[in-house]
Amino acid sequence: MGEDESSILVMKLLHIVGARPNFMKAAPVIHVLDHESSVHQMLIHTGQHYDANMSEVFFRELDIPEPDLNLEVGSGTHGRQTAQIMMRFEEVVLENRPDLVLVYGDVNSTAATAMVCAKLWIPVGHVEAGLRSFDRSMPEEINRVITDQIADVLFTPSRDGDTNLLAEGVSQDKIHFVGNVMIDTLIHLLPKAETHWETDQIREWRERKYILVTIHRPSNVDEPAVLTEIMKTLGAISERLPVLFPVHPRTAKALKRMGYTKKNSNFHLMDPIGYLDFLALQQNATAVITDSGGIQEETTYLGVPCLTVRKNTERPVTLTTGTNILVGQDMEKLRIEMDRILSGESKKGALPPLWDGHASARIAQIIASYT
């Protein structure tokens, strides 16, 4: 007697996204699992990022479907936002009873939904597990540690992730070194990014040299004295080469509170831009100044010099293997390192292991065999 379709076991899988980096990590996994008939996928957006330029645009650019559900949590304090996500997501879990929930990265949505699942005995997979800055003052670090202790399946992007998890007592059989899903998305979208040079915000820069900036972390933007020094240094750098700075909403609010006014026409403060526009700019930049973890990874793959305005990083492979240099909040060091880059003495990097565009396929293979 043949097996009919109704007798085939199908895994119900929920993907959780809430902020810009999550979308880029989830997209390649969703695409690969679309070809697995044994997996039924649902995409849940917590609504942690609600600005159109920080959210909806990425669903279009990454070729992933609109979410099956949007919890519409919005902004708030860490405690309030986490609590709202937990309350609303618990209803989703109780209604759908998934076999596995995939969480991504280190935002509040990641830890909040993982905690809900743990209390309801729903297995959790964590994509981008094991990364550590060893700085508990960072909310993201707390989210990483909590999620990794809860998760049942941990997908690490680099070998240091495995080492960190084992040191924290995570069982070896839960850990899977798969590579970096962000690089999967990057490789997939590079050809499409090349077609975006005709968009209004970036057209004029196609044949010009420039430095690309993105600064948004609370440690850099919430203290006026710190942000003032950063902006002063970026302004000075722009006297040598134009600086393009797509301003994150959090940073824009801080600059407005400060009453900041730029003094150099070579310093270009821009509205937030889509991922494809940003990727086009990033690929062709002379250098990138950032405090974003994902951009440290992308510049390493692209071979673009990266100066990170942070005292630490949860992505040390971008320092040991890639093109990244930490400058902390030492603006003199930022000037010195930028001088080296502009003098043709930039750091030369290489690709870390398994940053090959196939991390999502390795994740999908593990998920398909997970019962």
- What positions carry a catalytic annotation? 216
126 residue type, one letter: H
Residue partners of 169: CB distance under 8 A and separation at least 6: none
- Give pairs for 218-223: CB < 8 Å, separation 24+: 218/250, 219/137, 219/138, 219/291, 219/310, 219/329, 220/291, 220/309, 220/310, 220/329, 221/248, 221/250, 221/251, 221/254, 222/254
DSSP state, residue 247: P
Q: Which of 267, 271, 303, 269 is nearest to 284 (CA)?
A: 303
Structure tokens at 276: 């494809």
- Do the Cβ atoms of 97 and 12 come closer than 8 Å? yes
Q: Which residues pair with 67 in a beta bridge?
A: none
Phi/psi at 117 (nearest 5 deg)? -60, -45
